[in-house]
A and B are shown apart, each in its own frame.
Chain A
Amino acid sequence: MAGPRVGLFITCLIDFFRPSVGFAAVKLLHEAGCSVEVPRQACCGQPAFNSGDRGDARAIAEQVIAACETFDYIVVPSGSCAGMLKVHYPELFRGDPNWQPRADAFAGKCFELISFLVDVMGVTASSAEFAGTVTYHDSCSGLRELGVKGQARRLLATVAGLTLIELQDADVCCGFGGTFCVKYPEISNAIVAKKVANIRASGAGTLLAGDLGCLMNMAGKLARVGSGVEVRHVAEVLAGMAGEPAIAAPRERKAVTTP
């Protein structure tokens, strides 16, 4: 393929919990004309960075940069991990004569998946079909660190059969916050409870977002309160790969019902 050579950065959550998002990303990148490789890496290091452990965060960042810097682009199907690579790696190496130039050059090549497709590859439409109503949650890091907001909505509007319903307070945090949900589960739960009330009030049959952490949090709460809302990564729908059971949904596929 003549298109750019993309290193697909598989986030630790996608790797572990939902590989289908990774395959959806591969498909979307192929459709956009990119060649795709997957470097071997474990995690972007954000849990260490946000826990104040700069030593481990740096060691992991050095590995990631070394494993990925030869690609034309590094594309991440998560706003939060992309923000780590693009915004926080340069912060980690500021003032280091060897690493800062490398981290800066690396950061310049890193993109969140959907904004990469729209802003860099010029994708304007999706060839997928999806029968149903969806609503979209803006994950915080993608929105505020990278300015990902309209891109996913623009592509979703071109999915045949899909109706997008705007979510009240779509740009308000879902309460996941990485290690926050482990350290302060009660507060995290109170925040996601509000989010889930808005999701249910939207009346949409499916909730989409671009970050698996937020999605798992919202899906877990929706499942606990007995809501039938399906939860998926936005890439699954855009790639036409929404056949997998939704996040936290039973595995045995039931007959498809339209909401």
Chain B
Amino acid sequence: MSETATSPHFKENAHAALADSELQRSLEILETNFIGRRKLVADKLPEFDALRDAARDIKNHTLAHLDLYLEEYERRVVAQGGHVHYAVTAADARAIILEICRSVNAKIVTKGKSMIAEEVGLDDFLTAHSITPIETDLGEYIIQIRHEMPSHIIAPALHLSKAQVAADFRRVHTQLPADRNLEEPQTLLAEARAVLREKFLAADVGITGANFLVAETGTSIIVTNEGNGDLTQTLPKIHIVLTSIEKLVPTLEDVSEFLRVLARSATGQEMSVYTTLSTGPRRSGDPDGPREYHVVLLDNGRSAMLGGEFREMLRCIRCGACMNHCPVYQAIGGHAYGWVYPGPMGAVLTPSLIGIDKAGNLPNASTFCGRCEEVCPVRIPLPKLMRFWREREFERHLSPATVRAGLSFWAFFARRPRLYGFATDVAARMLALMSGARGRFHWLPLARGWTDQRDFPAPQGATFQAQWRKR
């Protein structure tokens, strides 16, 4: 929720992250486990780039006719005995979910991994209303017991080491012997699994997200690796799918195209372990499944994006490849971004959701190296969209005064090539003289940020333009 966003303090957050040696060690996993594996499976599939084009085109088509596909989807869900709720704002989504939970007097709610639930701040809200939410995805469970936000959209606890998780488990699972061995990842997993198993059985309501919504069948689909989503949605009386309007695709055939790019881009898997399709509540004769099936469709500013220059962001399928490959994310991790969505996709999406006045740092903190766009499975031009935010910020005079002053000083000269040529030649000669024989500066008054940790190369002497005109 926007109240808890620390995005305005991005620089301070980044400073702390860079000094956090444990975090820095955890971030090394991006290189080994994400970038390397993605490249391996992408290179193995000759049609990978063609699939990315197809995925982009399907999303573009769906977004162009989103109203029709939403109506079709709703019709199908209702025909199968499900309910569709439209939530214009995050508060609406929370209220709808609370009402459904109260209808069965729910005490415990299990949750599959859902970034939309993070976006609307669902856990804190349910807790405040005396309903206990239990995160059942291992990463989400870990950050829940730490009261943290996810630091990565598909690996929420990426910022943590095994030892940190073991310490948290000892702190929270006090019913277990204190001297138990928690050295291995498998023992941590087994412990979480045992703790969570009881909760699955006790839950009154299960809430999941959705990776895709299929208009032709009224199906919601989750793509997971742990199987927790299946238990979350089949065991309780009620299954709530909390998702957003841009998850729609027209057909099941289309979904198969996305499945081929999603896991490859995200984790470097050819397929995720579980791809689970939910189509309505338990039918008569079904051995299991929820009695009620609700879909909460969040808008939260998305339909406004649909009509503007950030529309392409709505193609995002939340694979996380952009952040895995981002040099800035690799350096500081996800929490520094200060809200739910980090990395390049967060730099575009977050200002839409909490305001550019709060999130202004995010689209600015990019080198525009373009690696995010290069790996995006739906080819979102992320640097271009970040630049659009910089333009909105500039127009509204929100960028820092020092930046604006520096820019307008520079632009005054840059728009006058002759004056610029004269002034730069004088300055270049002066700096060359000042640097003497060293050829660089250890310290420069107006470039402290640079010279604190780098030398600043000195000019050679007269400018090229001056030398060229004098030939």
Contact = CB atoms under 8 A, between A and B. Distances in A.
A185 B464 contact: no
Interface in B156-191: none
A178 B368 contact: yes
A51 B463 CA distance: 25
A244 B460 CA distance: 9
A175 B449 CA distance: 13
Interface stretch (A55-63, A95-103, A128-136, A155-163): A55-63
B interface, by DSSP: helix, strand, loop or mixed?
Answer: helix
B465 interface: yes
Given A185-B452, A186-B14, A15 B464 contact: yes
Interface in A181-195: 181-192
Interface stretch (B88-96, B327-335, B339-347): B327-335
A162 to B, nearest CB: 23
B421 A192 contact: no
Nearest to A64: B417
B390 interface: yes
B194 interface: no
A14 interface: yes
Most central of A20, A175, A177, A251 by chain B CB within 10 Å: A251
Given A19-B467, A191-B327, A191-B328, A184 B11 contact: yes
Contacts of A67: 417
B141 to A, nearest CB: 30
Contacts, number: 214
Given A10-B465, A22-B464, A220-B455, A172 B327 contact: yes
B80 to A, nearest CB: 45
A197 B309 CA distance: 40
Contacts of B449: 181-182, 185-186
B455 A248 contact: yes
Most central of A12, A15, A185 by chain B CB within 10 Å: A15
Contacts of B450: 181-182, 185, 220
B374 interface: yes
Interface string B8-48: 00010011001000000000000000000000000000000
Interface stretch (A38-46, A115-123, A201-209): A38-46
B413 interface: yes
A46 B364 CA distance: 14
A16 B368 contact: no
A49 B462 CA distance: 27
B371 A172 contact: yes
Contact of B468 (A38, A49, A52): A38
B370 interface: yes
A18 B467 CA distance: 12
A199 to B, nearest CB: 14
Contacts of A185: 449-450, 452-453
A interface, by DSSP: helix, strand, loop or mixed?
Answer: helix
Nearest to B463: A15
Interface string A219-259: 11101100000000000000000001101111110000000
A248 B457 contact: yes
B394 A53 contact: yes
A47 B410 contact: yes
A140 interface: yes
Given A52-B391, A140-B368, A19 B407 contact: no
A248 B438 CA distance: 8
Given A189-B453, A219-B457, A251 B463 contact: no
B11 A16 contact: no
A1 B457 CA distance: 37
A22 B466 CA distance: 12
B85 interface: no
A37 B284 CA distance: 82
Given A144-B373, A173-B367, A223-B440, A190 B456 contact: no
B370 A141 contact: yes
B400 to A, nearest CB: 8
Given A19-B467, A216-B457, A177 B367 contact: yes
Nearest to B461: A19
Nearest to A191: B327
A106 interface: no
A131 to B, nearest CB: 22
A54 interface: yes
B463 A175 contact: no
B454 interface: yes
Contacts of A43: 414, 420
A104 interface: no
Interface in B356-378: 364-371, 373-374
Interface string B420-464: 110010011000000011111000000101101111111111111
A251 B91 CA distance: 64
B460 A180 contact: no
Given A10-B464, A51-B394, A45 B414 contact: yes
Interface in A133-148: 140-141, 144-145
Contacts of A91: 384
B459 A17 contact: yes
A50 B368 contact: yes
A217 interface: yes
Contact of A187 (B14, B369, B393, B461): B14
A85 B305 CA distance: 29
A175 B332 CA distance: 13
B351 to A, nearest CB: 12
B395 interface: yes
A53 B411 contact: yes
B440 A220 contact: yes
A238 to B, nearest CB: 18
Contacts of A54: 391, 394
A170 interface: no
A48 B464 contact: no
Given A14-B464, A50-B390, 7 more contacts: A15-B424, A16-B428, A16-B459, A187-B331, A221-B454, A224-B453, A248-B455
Interchain residue pairs A-B with the least CB separation, the first 8: A177-B367, A185-B449, A52-B390, A52-B394, A173-B369, A19-B464, A220-B454, A144-B370
7 contacts: A19-B460, A20-B460, A48-B411, A51-B394, A141-B370, A191-B367, A221-B455
